[in-house]
Amino acid sequence: MAEILVLVDHVDGAVRKTTNELLTIARRIGEPSAVFIGSGAAPVEALAKFGAEKVYVVDDAEIKGYLVAPKAEVLQQIAATANPGAILISSSAEGKEIAARLAVKLESGVITDAVDVDANGVTTQSVFAGNYTVQAKVTKGTPIITVKPNAAAPEEVAGAGAAVPTAVTISDAAKTATIVASQPRQATGRPELTEAAIVVSGGRGTGGDFTAVEALADELGAAVGASRAAVDSGWKPHTFQVGQTGKVVSPQLYIANGISGAIQHRAGMQTSKTIVAVNKDEEAPMFELVDFGVVGDLHTVLPALVAEIKARK
Protein backbone atom coordinates (compact mmCIF):
# COMPACT_ATOMS: atom_id res chain seq x y z
CA MET A 1 0.00 0.00 0.00
CA ALA A 2 1.32 3.43 -0.86
CA GLU A 3 2.54 5.76 1.85
CA ILE A 4 0.44 8.87 2.35
CA LEU A 5 2.48 11.77 3.68
CA VAL A 6 0.85 13.98 6.30
CA LEU A 7 2.63 17.22 7.20
CA VAL A 8 2.27 17.60 10.97
CA ASP A 9 0.71 20.88 12.06
CA HIS A 10 1.94 21.63 15.56
CA VAL A 11 2.83 24.42 17.95
CA ASP A 12 6.17 23.71 19.65
CA GLY A 13 5.62 19.96 19.39
CA ALA A 14 1.96 20.00 20.50
CA VAL A 15 0.13 18.29 17.64
CA ARG A 16 -2.98 20.10 16.47
CA LYS A 17 -6.27 18.29 16.09
CA THR A 18 -6.25 18.88 12.33
CA THR A 19 -3.23 16.58 12.05
CA ASN A 20 -5.19 13.72 13.63
CA GLU A 21 -7.93 14.37 11.09
CA LEU A 22 -5.38 14.21 8.27
CA LEU A 23 -3.98 10.92 9.59
CA THR A 24 -7.51 9.51 9.69
CA ILE A 25 -8.10 10.56 6.08
CA ALA A 26 -4.66 9.24 5.04
CA ARG A 27 -5.60 5.78 6.33
CA ARG A 28 -8.54 5.68 3.93
CA ILE A 29 -6.20 6.16 0.99
CA GLY A 30 -3.10 4.24 2.06
CA GLU A 31 -0.56 3.96 4.85
CA PRO A 32 -0.20 7.16 6.89
CA SER A 33 3.32 8.57 7.35
CA ALA A 34 3.69 11.73 9.39
CA VAL A 35 6.31 14.35 8.56
CA PHE A 36 7.35 16.24 11.67
CA ILE A 37 9.43 19.36 11.18
CA GLY A 38 10.51 20.71 14.56
CA SER A 39 13.03 20.56 17.34
CA GLY A 40 13.17 18.68 20.62
CA ALA A 41 11.46 15.35 21.15
CA ALA A 42 9.19 14.49 18.25
CA PRO A 43 5.60 13.64 19.31
CA VAL A 44 5.94 10.16 17.81
CA GLU A 45 3.54 8.50 20.26
CA ALA A 46 0.84 11.10 19.75
CA LEU A 47 1.07 10.59 16.00
CA ALA A 48 1.15 6.79 16.23
CA LYS A 49 -2.01 6.90 18.31
CA PHE A 50 -3.89 8.26 15.30
CA GLY A 51 -2.38 5.76 12.89
CA ALA A 52 1.05 7.02 11.79
CA GLU A 53 3.05 3.99 10.69
CA LYS A 54 6.17 6.08 10.14
CA VAL A 55 7.19 9.46 11.48
CA TYR A 56 9.82 11.30 9.44
CA VAL A 57 11.58 13.57 11.91
CA VAL A 58 13.26 16.63 10.46
CA ASP A 59 15.21 18.94 12.76
CA ASP A 60 14.10 22.47 11.99
CA ALA A 61 17.21 24.31 13.20
CA GLU A 62 17.92 25.39 9.62
CA ILE A 63 14.29 25.94 8.70
CA LYS A 64 12.63 27.83 11.52
CA GLY A 65 13.76 31.31 10.61
CA TYR A 66 12.40 31.26 7.07
CA LEU A 67 8.98 31.55 5.52
CA VAL A 68 7.38 28.46 3.94
CA ALA A 69 9.88 27.63 1.17
CA PRO A 70 12.15 25.25 3.16
CA LYS A 71 9.17 23.16 4.23
CA ALA A 72 8.26 22.58 0.60
CA GLU A 73 11.83 21.38 0.01
CA VAL A 74 11.55 18.97 2.94
CA LEU A 75 8.40 17.41 1.48
CA GLN A 76 9.95 17.30 -1.98
CA GLN A 77 12.98 15.39 -0.67
CA ILE A 78 10.94 12.93 1.38
CA ALA A 79 8.56 12.39 -1.53
CA ALA A 80 11.51 11.59 -3.80
CA THR A 81 12.34 8.47 -1.77
CA ALA A 82 8.93 7.58 -0.28
CA ASN A 83 7.11 7.89 -3.60
CA PRO A 84 3.84 8.60 -1.75
CA GLY A 85 0.34 8.05 -3.07
CA ALA A 86 -0.71 11.50 -1.87
CA ILE A 87 0.47 14.35 0.33
CA LEU A 88 -1.96 15.88 2.84
CA ILE A 89 -1.43 19.30 4.41
CA SER A 90 -3.63 21.45 6.68
CA SER A 91 -5.53 24.10 4.77
CA SER A 92 -4.04 27.08 6.60
CA ALA A 93 -2.44 30.04 4.83
CA GLU A 94 0.97 28.48 5.32
CA GLY A 95 -0.25 25.00 4.38
CA LYS A 96 -1.65 26.21 1.09
CA GLU A 97 1.57 28.05 0.28
CA ILE A 98 3.67 24.96 0.98
CA ALA A 99 1.30 23.02 -1.27
CA ALA A 100 1.64 25.58 -4.08
CA ARG A 101 5.44 25.44 -4.09
CA LEU A 102 5.46 21.66 -3.79
CA ALA A 103 3.06 21.35 -6.75
CA VAL A 104 5.45 23.32 -8.96
CA LYS A 105 8.45 21.28 -7.74
CA LEU A 106 6.80 17.87 -8.17
CA GLU A 107 4.82 18.89 -11.28
CA SER A 108 1.78 17.58 -9.48
CA GLY A 109 -1.78 18.78 -9.22
CA VAL A 110 -2.95 20.46 -6.03
CA ILE A 111 -6.41 20.84 -4.53
CA THR A 112 -7.03 23.25 -1.65
CA ASP A 113 -9.68 23.53 1.06
CA ALA A 114 -11.05 19.99 0.87
CA VAL A 115 -13.86 19.36 3.37
CA ASP A 116 -13.72 15.64 2.61
CA VAL A 117 -11.44 13.19 0.79
CA ASP A 118 -12.52 9.66 -0.14
CA ALA A 119 -10.45 6.48 -0.51
CA ASN A 120 -9.78 7.26 -4.18
CA GLY A 121 -8.54 10.75 -3.43
CA VAL A 122 -11.70 12.42 -4.70
CA THR A 123 -12.14 15.65 -2.76
CA THR A 124 -15.20 17.64 -1.80
CA GLN A 125 -14.96 21.42 -1.59
CA SER A 126 -17.40 24.16 -0.78
CA VAL A 127 -17.10 27.12 -3.18
CA PHE A 128 -18.70 30.46 -4.06
CA ALA A 129 -19.22 31.47 -0.46
CA GLY A 130 -20.60 28.03 0.32
CA ASN A 131 -23.26 28.13 -2.36
CA TYR A 132 -21.81 25.24 -4.37
CA THR A 133 -20.31 21.86 -3.56
CA VAL A 134 -17.62 20.64 -5.94
CA GLN A 135 -15.94 17.26 -6.29
CA ALA A 136 -12.49 17.18 -7.81
CA LYS A 137 -9.47 14.97 -8.34
CA VAL A 138 -5.79 15.45 -9.04
CA THR A 139 -5.00 14.03 -12.46
CA LYS A 140 -1.24 14.52 -12.64
CA GLY A 141 1.66 13.49 -10.44
CA THR A 142 1.36 12.97 -6.70
CA PRO A 143 -1.95 14.38 -5.46
CA ILE A 144 -1.32 17.26 -3.06
CA ILE A 145 -4.41 18.07 -1.03
CA THR A 146 -4.91 20.71 1.63
CA VAL A 147 -7.67 19.74 4.04
CA LYS A 148 -9.80 22.03 6.17
CA PRO A 149 -10.31 21.52 9.89
CA ASN A 150 -13.27 19.27 10.85
CA ALA A 151 -13.08 17.35 7.54
CA ALA A 152 -13.05 14.04 9.43
CA ALA A 153 -13.66 12.77 12.94
CA PRO A 154 -10.20 11.72 14.19
CA GLU A 155 -10.06 7.97 14.77
CA GLU A 156 -7.66 6.38 17.21
CA VAL A 157 -5.94 3.48 15.43
CA ALA A 158 -2.57 2.34 16.73
CA GLY A 159 0.12 2.78 14.07
CA ALA A 160 3.66 1.43 14.28
CA GLY A 161 5.04 4.92 14.78
CA ALA A 162 8.54 4.10 13.51
CA ALA A 163 10.67 7.24 13.86
CA VAL A 164 12.77 7.93 10.78
CA PRO A 165 15.32 10.68 11.47
CA THR A 166 15.64 12.47 8.16
CA ALA A 167 18.38 14.79 6.98
CA VAL A 168 17.46 17.36 4.37
CA THR A 169 19.37 20.00 2.45
CA ILE A 170 17.80 23.41 2.22
CA SER A 171 18.80 25.52 -0.76
CA ASP A 172 19.94 29.13 -0.37
CA ALA A 173 17.02 30.16 -2.61
CA ALA A 174 14.60 28.88 0.03
CA LYS A 175 16.20 31.06 2.69
CA THR A 176 15.58 34.46 1.14
CA ALA A 177 12.44 35.42 3.07
CA THR A 178 13.40 35.56 6.73
CA ILE A 179 11.21 35.76 9.80
CA VAL A 180 12.71 38.83 11.43
CA ALA A 181 10.42 38.82 14.46
CA SER A 182 7.67 36.61 15.76
CA GLN A 183 5.12 37.21 18.45
CA PRO A 184 3.22 34.09 19.47
CA ARG A 185 -0.51 34.51 19.60
CA GLN A 186 -1.94 34.96 23.08
CA ALA A 187 -3.77 31.92 24.32
CA THR A 188 -7.48 32.70 24.78
CA GLY A 189 -8.27 29.63 26.88
CA ARG A 190 -11.09 28.92 24.45
CA PRO A 191 -11.21 26.38 21.59
CA GLU A 192 -9.45 27.22 18.32
CA LEU A 193 -11.87 29.14 16.08
CA THR A 194 -11.57 26.83 13.07
CA GLU A 195 -11.71 23.65 15.16
CA ALA A 196 -14.52 24.54 17.57
CA ALA A 197 -17.82 22.67 17.59
CA ILE A 198 -19.63 25.86 18.56
CA VAL A 199 -18.75 29.44 17.56
CA VAL A 200 -20.39 32.48 19.12
CA SER A 201 -19.57 35.68 17.29
CA GLY A 202 -20.27 39.36 17.59
CA GLY A 203 -20.44 42.24 15.12
CA ARG A 204 -20.92 45.97 15.07
CA GLY A 205 -24.15 45.43 17.00
CA THR A 206 -22.15 44.67 20.14
CA GLY A 207 -21.15 48.32 20.15
CA GLY A 208 -17.71 47.14 21.22
CA ASP A 209 -18.91 45.36 24.33
CA PHE A 210 -18.24 41.64 23.86
CA THR A 211 -19.07 40.71 27.48
CA ALA A 212 -22.41 39.10 26.64
CA VAL A 213 -20.97 37.29 23.60
CA GLU A 214 -18.05 35.93 25.62
CA ALA A 215 -20.24 34.89 28.54
CA LEU A 216 -22.44 32.85 26.20
CA ALA A 217 -19.37 31.35 24.50
CA ASP A 218 -17.97 30.24 27.84
CA GLU A 219 -21.30 28.80 28.94
CA LEU A 220 -21.34 26.69 25.75
CA GLY A 221 -17.60 25.93 25.67
CA ALA A 222 -17.45 27.76 22.37
CA ALA A 223 -14.90 29.79 20.43
CA VAL A 224 -15.46 33.53 19.98
CA GLY A 225 -15.60 35.05 16.50
CA ALA A 226 -16.09 38.56 15.12
CA SER A 227 -17.23 40.31 11.96
CA ARG A 228 -14.81 42.51 10.05
CA ALA A 229 -16.67 45.59 11.27
CA ALA A 230 -15.85 44.53 14.85
CA VAL A 231 -12.23 43.83 13.92
CA ASP A 232 -11.83 47.08 11.97
CA SER A 233 -13.17 48.94 15.01
CA GLY A 234 -10.36 47.44 17.04
CA TRP A 235 -12.69 45.49 19.34
CA LYS A 236 -11.08 42.14 18.52
CA PRO A 237 -7.80 41.18 16.84
CA HIS A 238 -7.88 40.05 13.22
CA THR A 239 -7.36 36.42 14.27
CA PHE A 240 -10.99 36.44 15.48
CA GLN A 241 -12.41 37.49 12.11
CA VAL A 242 -14.84 35.12 10.42
CA GLY A 243 -15.36 35.53 6.69
CA GLN A 244 -13.83 35.73 3.26
CA THR A 245 -10.67 37.43 4.51
CA GLY A 246 -10.70 35.89 7.95
CA LYS A 247 -11.30 32.34 9.10
CA VAL A 248 -13.74 30.05 7.38
CA VAL A 249 -15.55 28.04 10.04
CA SER A 250 -17.94 25.14 9.76
CA PRO A 251 -19.02 24.29 13.30
CA GLN A 252 -22.02 22.29 14.49
CA LEU A 253 -23.52 25.53 15.78
CA TYR A 254 -22.84 29.16 14.81
CA ILE A 255 -24.48 31.96 16.76
CA ALA A 256 -24.22 35.40 15.08
CA ASN A 257 -24.95 38.35 17.34
CA GLY A 258 -25.34 41.87 15.98
CA ILE A 259 -24.02 40.78 12.58
CA SER A 260 -25.98 41.84 9.50
CA GLY A 261 -24.90 38.94 7.27
CA ALA A 262 -22.92 40.53 4.41
CA ILE A 263 -21.82 38.13 1.66
CA GLN A 264 -18.19 38.33 2.85
CA HIS A 265 -19.21 37.27 6.34
CA ARG A 266 -21.46 34.49 5.04
CA ALA A 267 -18.52 33.15 3.05
CA GLY A 268 -16.92 32.28 6.35
CA MET A 269 -19.81 30.57 8.15
CA GLN A 270 -22.48 29.57 5.65
CA THR A 271 -21.64 25.85 5.84
CA SER A 272 -22.18 25.68 9.62
CA LYS A 273 -24.59 22.85 10.45
CA THR A 274 -26.96 24.90 12.58
CA ILE A 275 -27.14 28.70 12.41
CA VAL A 276 -28.68 31.02 15.01
CA ALA A 277 -28.84 34.82 14.91
CA VAL A 278 -29.72 37.51 17.37
CA ASN A 279 -30.30 40.88 15.72
CA LYS A 280 -32.38 43.98 16.44
CA ASP A 281 -33.34 44.35 12.81
CA GLU A 282 -35.80 41.77 11.52
CA GLU A 283 -34.76 42.66 7.96
CA ALA A 284 -31.10 41.68 8.56
CA PRO A 285 -29.97 39.32 5.75
CA MET A 286 -28.50 36.98 8.37
CA PHE A 287 -32.06 35.85 9.17
CA GLU A 288 -32.28 34.30 5.66
CA LEU A 289 -29.71 31.72 6.75
CA VAL A 290 -30.86 30.83 10.21
CA ASP A 291 -32.42 27.74 11.68
CA PHE A 292 -33.52 29.89 14.58
CA GLY A 293 -33.51 33.65 14.96
CA VAL A 294 -34.34 36.09 17.71
CA VAL A 295 -35.29 39.65 16.83
CA GLY A 296 -34.07 41.56 19.82
CA ASP A 297 -31.25 43.39 21.57
CA LEU A 298 -28.26 41.12 22.10
CA HIS A 299 -27.39 42.93 25.32
CA THR A 300 -30.62 41.65 26.91
CA VAL A 301 -31.19 38.39 24.99
CA LEU A 302 -27.71 36.90 25.56
CA PRO A 303 -27.50 37.42 29.34
CA ALA A 304 -31.06 36.07 29.66
CA LEU A 305 -30.04 33.05 27.58
CA VAL A 306 -27.02 32.39 29.79
CA ALA A 307 -29.25 32.59 32.89
CA GLU A 308 -31.76 30.25 31.25
CA ILE A 309 -29.08 27.68 30.36
CA LYS A 310 -27.70 27.81 33.92
CA ALA A 311 -31.19 27.36 35.35
CA ARG A 312 -31.77 24.25 33.22
CA LYS A 313 -28.57 22.50 34.33
Partner 1 sequence: MNIVVCVKHVPDATADRKFESDNTVDRVGVDGLLSELDEYAVEQALQLAEKNEGSEVTALCIGPEGAADAVRKALQMGADKGVHIVDDAIAGSDAIATSLVLAEAIKKIGTPDIVITGMASTDAGTSLVPAALAERLGLPQVTFASVVETQGDQIRAKRDGDAATEVIGATLPVVLSVTDQTGEPRYPSFKGIMAAKKKPLETLGLGDLGLGADQVGLSVAWTAVESTAARPPRTAGEIVKDEDGSGAKALADFLASKKFI
Ligand X SMILES: Cc1cc2nc3c(=O)[nH]c(=O)nc-3n(C[C@H](O)[C@H](O)[C@H](O)COP(=O)(O)OP(=O)(O)OC[C@H]3O[C@@H](n4cnc5c(N)ncnc54)[C@H](O)[C@@H]3O)c2cc1C
**Alpha carbon distance 295, 299 (integer Å):** 12
β-bridge mates for residue 89, sequence order: 146
Restricting to residues 54-73, name those near ligand X by CB under 6 A: none
Q: How far is the CB of 166 from partner 1 (least distance, A)?
A: 22
**Alpha carbon distance 305, 92 (integer Å):** 34
What angle is formed at CA 251 by the lines to CA 116 and CA 50, rounded to 5 degrees? Answer: 55
Among ligand X, partner 1, none, the one that 292 touches (CB under a kind-dependent 5 to 8 A) is partner 1
Among partner 1, ligand X, none, the one that 259 touches (CB under a kind-dependent 5 to 8 A) is ligand X
Annotated binding site for FAD, which residues? 204, 227-228, 241-245, 258-265, 279
Among 63, 98, 259, 276, binds ligand X (CB under 6 A): 259
Using CB under 6 A as the binding rule, whether residue 245 contacts ligand X is answered as: yes
DSSP per residue, 51-84: T-SEEEEEEGGGTTTB-SHHHHHHHHHHHHHH--
3-class DSSP state of 33: strand
Q: How far is the CB of 273 from ligand X (least distance, A)?
A: 20
Among candidates 279, 264, 275, 198, which has minimal Cα distance to 231?
264
Q: Which is nearer to ligand X, 51 or 246 (CB)?
A: 246
Using CB under 6 A as the binding rule, whether residue 268 contacts ligand X is answered as: yes
CB 199 within 8 A of CB 242: yes
Among ligand X, partner 1, none, the one that 308 touches (CB under a kind-dependent 5 to 8 A) is partner 1
Q: Which is nearer to partner 1, 169 or 274 (CB)?
A: 274
AA letter at 1? M
Restricting to residues 162-221, name those near ligand X by CB under 6 A: 203-205
CA atoms within 13 A on the CB side of 276: 17
Q: Which is nearer to ligand X, 91 or 227 (CB)?
A: 227
Determine the interface stretch with ligand X among 127-135, 141-149, 215-223, 225-233 (rule: CB under 6 A): 225-233
Using CB under 6 A as the binding rule, whether residue 227 contacts ligand X is answered as: yes
| 274 membership: H or E segment, kind and range | strand 274-279
Applying CB under 6 A, the residues found at the interface with ligand X are 203-205, 227-230, 241-246, 258-260, 262, 264-265, 268, 278-281, 284, 297-299
